[in-house]
Amino acid sequence: MISLMIKEKRAEERILFSFMVAVWFLIGLGVMLGIYISYGDESDVKQLQAGILADKIAGCLIDNSKLIDDITKDEFDIIDKCNFNKEVITGSKFYSQVKFNYISEGKIGDEFRKPIIIGNKDALTQCSLRESNIPGTHYFRCIEKKYYAFSKDDKLVLIDIYMGANNEGGRF
Amino acid sequence: MNLLRNKKGVDLLHSTIVFLLLNAMFFGIMFGVVYKAGTNSAFYEQLYSKQIALLIDNSKPGTILSINLNSIEKTLEKEKISPSEAFDIKDNNVIVKITKGGKGYSFPYSSNYNIEKSLDRNDKGELFLKISILKK
């Protein structure tokens, strides 16, 4: 049947035309794929942002190597003190946990004050999944940073900041 | 003209025109896609948006950020977008849009500051975006 069709000139043209469209499609697909691979990757700055925010928190809690006075107060508001936007920092994209412990004889001692926890607690699960190499690109990225400062009564305090970020930009 | 009087000739002309049109369309679309990718506009939108948001989060009130716009100035001129229009900082989002008709790239920051932006050129004629970070 095909051999009969090919003998006819118009049928031959039709088959050639379909081949040409298929070749165009393949070339187009190849170019698009190349562009997507080269330019499509999002740069992941979640960990960078988590680090920046941890430094920012430490920066507003410590003044001249000393913990700020307000920190021992029960009504201490870290969001206000560190100039965070309440909606954003307590929303689904961030998590921060700040622990305070005395350091005595080089060891972690008693709690200086109760921990401050704000944001999305899913970060803890998602970051442990990431550490276990369970695949997932939209998980939080977390960072733990430790800072040291002196309390009002000149005792050394360890400030352990665990910060998670899952801030993804996009085209909306 | 003889070709048009003949039915076979008209068919041949039609298929040739369709073939040429499809060719032109295909190469036009490919050229457009490759040209757009070549200008790196999507890359720069993402780069500036994330960079500015992270810089804001890393700054204290009173800081003035100065960002060199050299790499996108020509693209902005071609697209007829003014630099002040290309950068929008509102509702805790940095939105950068350097192509006409594009959606732009948006990246949120977490700090609660008042942000003021202005444009400036240095002695060498390089364009800078100046962002002032002020306490609310």
Asked if the model's pLDDT at residue B1 lies above 70, the reply is no
Residue linked to tokens 């410590």: A62
Q: Tell whether A170 lies on the interface with B, counting CB pairs under 8 A.
A: yes
Q: What is the pLDDT of residues A2-60, one digit of tens each?
A: 555 555 666 677 777 788 888 888 988 888 888 878 777 778 899 999 999 999 999 99
Report which of A163, A149, A146 is spatially closest to residue A69, judged by C-alpha positions: A149
What was the pLDDT predicted at A10?
Answer: 64
Give percent of chain B with pLDDT exceeding 70.
Answer: 93
pLDDT in tens, B10-46: 777 777 888 888 888 888 988 887 777 777 888 899 9
Contact residues on chain B for A172, CB-CB shorter than 8 A: 103, 106
Model pTM score: 0.79
pLDDT by residue (tens digit) across A55-97?
999 999 999 999 999 998 888 999 999 999 999 999 999 999 9
Average pLDDT estimate for B76-94 = 91
> Residues of B with CB below 8 A from A167's CB?
107-108, 110
Angle at A75 between CA A70 and CA A81, to 5 degrees: 55
- Which residue out of A49, A84, A95 would a mutagenesis test of the B interface target, given it has the greatest number of B Cβ atoms within 10 Å? A49
**Minimal CA separation from A88 to chain B, in Å:** 6
